[in-house]
């Protein structure tokens, strides 16, 4: 039965109203939190859409929505995706920068994905296993890319500790480290996009980005779950690499 436009999600209206939401019973030996996560996944329209459209996860729609607004993934752009697993952001970037050369008459871009863990190949993207925090990672990235990047993006999050304040501090530190690499590999005028968690400790990080980019926006795209504290920082118009020791994170 098709849901009528404007009706509440998961409900049918009129006589014989019933709940169409998929409900999952807690199996023996499975934690309640796991059951709730599974139920949320089964009822998430972005999860279903990702399956239909061939993306590796719902997170693909976050970068799609951010790019729809800020237009940084343009044909011909060179893109670095830090912590790229499972690969949804790379898939979007390949399409938008024309990495496969399928858009006739448009410049052909390049997409480089790096992650600590192996990632299944993605057509049109070059994937490498690399700890971006390791010494010389920035030079390695530029070598693989064949020059500086136009976009550095990151959907990374530190492993959850279960303590909101600690997790917030960890992801801010991760974003600052990603920004440090971006300062080394970005072309002047480039863009830096990264996930953060709202919590108040990101003031210094925001100030750092504002000194090094002409515009810094904080956005919660529609695909980001309403009950999540995540948001994304989109820094555009990179001013150029800071002098050594000046405006560097940490």
Binding residues: 87, 89, 115, 131, 155
User: CA nearest 84: which of 52, 53, 56, 109?
Assistant: 56
E-only strand ranges, 149-185: 149-154
Q: Which residues pair with 113 in a beta bridge?
A: 81, 127
Is cis: bond before 76, omega within 30 of 0?
Answer: no
Does an H or E element contain 214, and which? strand 213-219
Q: In what order do the strands lie in the sheet with 230-238?
A: 125-129, 110-115, 78-82, 149-154, 186-197, 230-238, 213-219
- Asked if 171 and 196 count as a contact pair (C-beta separation under 8 A), the reply is yes
Q: Considering the candidates 195, 220, 231, 244, report the single residue annotated as catalytic.
A: 195
The long-range contacts involving 203-207, CB below 8 angstroms and separated by at least 24 positions, are 205/172, 205/175, 205/176, 205/179, 205/233, 205/249, 206/233
Give, in order, the Cα–Cα distances in Å from 17 to each of 7, 42, 59: 12, 21, 33
Q: Any idea what DSSP says for residue 7?
A: S
Q: Does the annotation count 195 as an active-site position?
A: yes
| Binding-site sequence positions for S-adenosyl-L-methionine | 87, 89, 115, 131, 155
Residues with catalytic roles: 195
């Amino acid at each position: 039965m098709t849901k009528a436009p404007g009706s509440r999600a998961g409900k049918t209206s009129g006589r014989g109203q019933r709940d169409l939401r998929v409900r999952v019973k807690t199996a023996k030996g499975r934690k309640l939190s796991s059951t709730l996560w599974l139920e949320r996944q089964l009822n998430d329209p972005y999860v279903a859409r990702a399956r239909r459209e061939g993306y590796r996860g719902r997170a693909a729609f976050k970068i799609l929505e951010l790019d729809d607004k800020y237009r940084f993934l343009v044909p011909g752009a060179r893109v670095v995706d830090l912590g790229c697993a499972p690969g949804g952001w790379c898939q979007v970037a390949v399409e938008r920068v024309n990495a496969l050369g399928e858009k006739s008459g448009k410049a052909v871009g390049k997409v480089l994905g790096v992650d600590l863990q192996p990632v299944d190949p993605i057509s049109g993207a070059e994937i490498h296993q690399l700890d971006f925090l390791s010494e010389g990672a920035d030079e390695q990235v530029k070598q693989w890319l064949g020059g500086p990047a136009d976009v550095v993006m990151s959907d990374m999050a530190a492993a959850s500790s279960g303590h909101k304040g600690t997790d917030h501090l960890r992801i801010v530190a991760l974003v600052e480290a990603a920004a440090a690499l971006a300062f080394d590999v970005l072309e002047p005028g480039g863009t830096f996009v990264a996930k953060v968690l709202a919590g108040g400790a990101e003031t210094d990080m925001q100030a750092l980005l504002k000194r090094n980019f002409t515009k810094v926006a904080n956005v919660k795209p529609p695909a980001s779950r309403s009950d999540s504290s995540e948001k994304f920082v989109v820094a555009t118009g990179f001013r150029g690499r800071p002098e050594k020791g000046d405006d560097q994170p940490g």
